[in-house]
Amino acid sequence: MGLIECNSDNQFDDILRSNQGKLIIADFFATWCGPCKKIGPQFKEASKCKPSITFVTVDIDKCKETAMKNGVKSVPTLMAFVGTNRMDVCSNTANLLDWVSKWERNTSTGESVVPGQIDLLPFISVSSSEILNDVDETQFRLMFSSPENNYKLISDCDEQLIINLVFNRPVKIHSIAIGGPGDEAPKTVKLFANVPRRRTSSITLC
Residues labelled as active-site residues: 33, 36
CA distances 99 to 54, 78, 155, 206, Å, are: 15, 10, 39, 63
CA-to-CA distance for 96 and 77, rounded, in angstroms?
11
Beta carbons of 77 and 134 less than 8 angstroms apart: no
Q: Identify the CA nearest to 131 among candidates 139, 122, 123, 121.
A: 139
CA-to-CA distance for 17 and 20, rounded, in angstroms?
6
Most distant CA pair in the chain, distance: 76
Query: Strand locations in the chain, DSSP E?
Result: 2-6, 23-29, 54-59, 77-82, 85-90, 130-132, 162-164
CA-to-CA distance for 66 and 94, rounded, in angstroms?
24
